Amino acid sequence: MKFTKYLGLRLLTWALTIWIGVTFIFFVPRMFPSDPVETMIGQIQARAGQMDPLQMEMLRRSLRVQFGLEGSLLEQYLSFLWKGLLQWDFGPSLMSYPTPVGDIIRTYLPYTLILTMTSTILAWLVGNFIGLQAGFRKDRRSSKIMEGIAICIYPIPYFIVALILQIVFAYILGWFPLQSTIYTFGGFGPFIRSLIRASILPALSLLLVSTGWWIISMKSLSSTVAEEDFVLFARYRGIPSGKIGRSYVMRNSIITQITALAMSLGGAFNGSIMTEIIFGYPGVGGLIQKAVLRSDYNMILGCITISIVAISTATLIVDLIYPLIDPRIRYS
């Protein structure tokens, strides 16, 4: 009974988050003085020379329709919510006209999802494992060394780590290509092999940064739990130290880390965008960069809307795992 209430409340928050985010990105561009249609027309004129006024007017009108700038503000808003959010229809992409934005994103999104999910989950597992060891046995030298390394890597922005890895491993050592290429043709084998080869450096740079964070936070959490009375009592009862680590310290500190995982997904996505751009990895990040260079606003809006939905949903899923692990939440 309580769980259904929790679920309902959580679903409501999920819907509200997406709605607020999407509303925000709908109104923000309309507050800026620059008009994408006029920018486009300027670009077209620069390429094609002067056009006659009638043609210009037709062009302007058709561009307004394609940008979803037709009608009153309320109509625009409702059609943006209806088409964009519910049907994933963001109009045609302007850089690869007339392919719909939705189709292009659908081909790029899986690459980003694979990269982000794998590295986030791996970083969470590895980081929490090391952090637990470091916090539970905090007087060991190895614990201090691991924490020291984590502190020196975590605060560095993702793209700097990516850049350093690129310079060292791709440029100086030459173990990997400078820019990733993935063979979508030539069968399944070459595809997987090129995908793995292209993903190693991006994934490694994401892993390094986020593992650092989980080590730091898990260490401070578990070292606090390790000093609590029930752990002390368990020690006096002569329970083996490994079991104390697993069933006493870990179980109590992992719960906080699950909430933290949910909160960190947005940041992980930001990181993966930057990493993709540095390595030329064919994901949503690379797509956003291309769209920015070509002023493809439909594409930018599409990518943002989909990433808001994706991140909120991932956060929701992590939050729903939470009550399965912490039995207390069902009754509180």
Among 67, 111, 124, 154, binds other proteins (CB under 8 A): 154
Interface stretch with other proteins, choices 105-113, 124-132, 137-145, 289-297 (CB under 8 A): 289-297
- Shortest reach from residue 73's CB to other proteins, in Å: 17
DSSP bridge pairs for 100: 92
Which of residues 31 and 86 has its CB atom nearest to other proteins in the complex?
Answer: 31
Which of residues 39 and 62 has its CB atom nearest to other proteins in the complex?
Answer: 39
Number of residues located near other proteins, criterion CB under 8 A: 51
The three-state secondary structure class of 92 is strand
Largest CA distance in the chain: 91
Which of residues 210 and 307 has its CB atom nearest to other proteins in the complex?
Answer: 307
- Shortest reach from residue 152's CB to other proteins, in Å: 6
Among 163, 204, 255, 260, binds other proteins (CB under 8 A): 163
- How many alpha carbons lie under 13 Å from residue 7 in its C-beta half-sphere? 6
- Shortest reach from residue 3's CB to other proteins, in Å: 21
149-155 long-range CB contacts below 8 Å, 24 or more apart?
A: 149/212, 150/211, 150/212, 150/213, 150/215, 150/216, 151/212, 151/216, 153/208, 153/209, 153/212, 154/209, 154/212, 154/213, 154/215, 154/216
Among 85, 239, 304, 329, binds other proteins (CB under 8 A): 304
Residues 6+ apart with CB under 8 A from 61: none
Query: What whole-number distance in Å separates Cα of residue 16 and Cα of residue 9?
Result: 11
Query: What whole-number distance in Å separates Cα of residue 206 and Cα of residue 185?
Result: 28
Of 5-34, binders to other proteins (CB under 8 A) are: 13, 16-17, 20-21, 24-25, 28-29, 32, 34
Which of residues 136 and 297 has its CB atom nearest to other proteins in the complex?
Answer: 297
Of 33-62, binders to other proteins (CB under 8 A) are: 34, 36
Helix (DSSP H) and strand (DSSP E) numbers for the chain: 14, 0
Is 101 near other proteins (CB under 8 A)?
no
- Binding map of other proteins across residues 212-251, x = CB under 8 A, - = no contact: ----x-----------------------------------
Under a CB-based contact definition with an 8 Å cutoff, are residues 213 and 154 in contact?
yes
Q: Which of 27, 11, 114, 19 is nearest to 308 (CA)?
A: 19
For residue 13, the tally of other CB atoms under 10 A from its CB is 14
Is 159 near other proteins (CB under 8 A)?
yes
Is 275 near other proteins (CB under 8 A)?
no
Q: Where do contacts with other proteins occur on this chain (CB under 8 A)?
A: 13, 16-17, 20-21, 24-25, 28-29, 32, 34, 36, 151-152, 154-160, 163-164, 167, 171, 216, 262-263, 265-267, 269-270, 273-274, 277-278, 288-289, 292-293, 295, 300-301, 303-304, 307-308, 311-312, 315
